Structure 1
Amino acid sequence: MSQLDQSVAELTAIEGATAAAIVDIGSGMALAASGNPGFNLDVAAAGNSNVVRAKLNTMRELGLTGAIDDILITLEDQYHLINVLSEESTQGLFIYLVLNKNTANLALARHRLSNVAKKVSV
């Protein structure tokens, strides 16, 4: 099992997680993915790469120099967490985590996501 697959396995083990992917921001391609969120995970990964690129472009236009820790999208029955990786070896990648809103603890999931993100390497 590759290191990316191992990281995705750790993410999907988070209570309430239904899917996870590690995604290339530029292409929108999932380098590793797992789970069954009830929709096409590859399409979601590609679409969320547009979200990340738009936010990075807006930050650049505003002259904001900080890094994105995460982006939270709250739906009726799901949380979608996007964690932009910032280590030199993982620049250009993000983690996409889908959580069931009824069974996940958002604070704990963000904490665990942050811990996994620190260990991701390509």
Structure 2
Amino acid sequence: MKRNTRLPVLMAVLCVFVGCASAPETSAGLEESKLSLRDGAVLEGPACGLESPECPEGLTCASLDLDTGRSFQCVRAQEVCDRLQCGQGRECVILESYPAQIRCGPERCAPPGSRDAASSQTCR
């Protein structure tokens, strides 16, 4: 390996194994990334997890990173995001895993010229 390529390769390997350093999020950034229940909404369902019994039929075990803390609960995946809200510029997303992860992700934008572009909000 050439001498001038060792450092970039080493940095890439360290970045993968240790994690790339990034600027710490401001408290405003943290607020935007937290889920919260919409006014009057409730999440019903038993607690779940890797070592807990399976969820009743029609429910999925999910990890919810709410503004009140992380919880593991059986939820209806098709309806859970309707009961939750994120900060401005974010939307509720479901990451497929076990348990499913319910998080705030970046807002999806319609591609320019698509049928949905006219009704879509402007994304950054």
Q: Does TM, scored on the shorter chain, surpass 0.5? A: no
Structure with larger Rg? 2
Between Structure 1 and Structure 2, the one with more helix by share is 1
Q: TM-score by structure 1 length?
A: 0.28
Higher RCO by CA contacts (8 Å cutoff, separation 6 or greater):
1
